[in-house]
Amino acid sequence: MPHTLPTDVLARFSLAGRKALVTGASRGIGRALALGLAQAGAAVAVSGRDLTAIERVVARIIGAGGAAVAAPFDVADTSVAQAGIAHAAERLGGLDILVNNAGIEQVCPSLDVDEALWNRIHDTNLKGAFFCAQAAGRIMAPAGGGAIVNICSLTSEVGVPTAAAYGASKSGLLGLTRTLATEWAPHGIRVNGIGPGYFRTDMTDVFFNDPGWRQTMLARIPAGRFGAVDDLLGAAIFLASPAAAYITGTLLYVDGGYMASV
């Protein structure tokens, strides 16, 4: 008897009919993720602090035949962010996917880190991510579930000099991912993380502008190249899609093999 392949495999990776919100989506990785989720069929709320920039992303999605709305808020302002997520969900007609991407970094020797710097980074990278997840969870749980994808980091598990505050926030985000995954699984909410390797963005330019750093780091990446933001799209779409229905509490590195080689 001939073997037949299931006809719905590719459909499981589709986000058609899903409603998503991406934080920090005005540029860089967040913008690429918002565009990628839209290309996979999701209606996307594009969030960020710069209204003009996020409106450009919205216009690009709509111009390509997708659906999108602007959701301008700063995740560090928790009450405003939670209200912004609720409002965006109303405009979209629900919320099935949250991508917690908003993040900031400032290179600083650990002996020079002050409380203001520590708080500024943690308010966005960790506290902001939690309260955005909480707002999304309050919408997703009564609706039967959803998917949350937290953008973690290599520093979630590897120490990087001059990144004490950032590394602590991203380690905390990994812990948060695992905690929410176990707590919210009964509500049908899956919570996973993506750990990008070294990608050139506005935030990482401080490293990439150093030729010596680039040469040293490139030698440590088995794939032999730095990441391009589009390299993250497959992981994000997969974790947000029905294809990952039995995956929660995990961190998927997209790093060219860096973590496998350390």
* Catalytic residue numbers, as ranges: 166
H/E segment holding residue 146: strand 146-151
H/E segment holding residue 260: helix 258-261
> From edge to edge, which strands make up the β-sheet containing 146-151?
68-72, 43-48, 19-22, 97-100, 146-151, 189-196, 251-254
Tokens encoding 184: 């919210």
What phi and psi values does residue 85 have, to the nearest 5 degrees? -70, -40
Query: Is there a contact between 95 and 136 (Cβ–Cβ < 8 Å)?
Result: yes
H/E segment holding residue 252: strand 251-254
Q: How many helices (H) and strands (E) in the chain?
A: 10, 7
Q: Pick from 174, 88, 84: which is nearest to 131 by CA?
A: 84
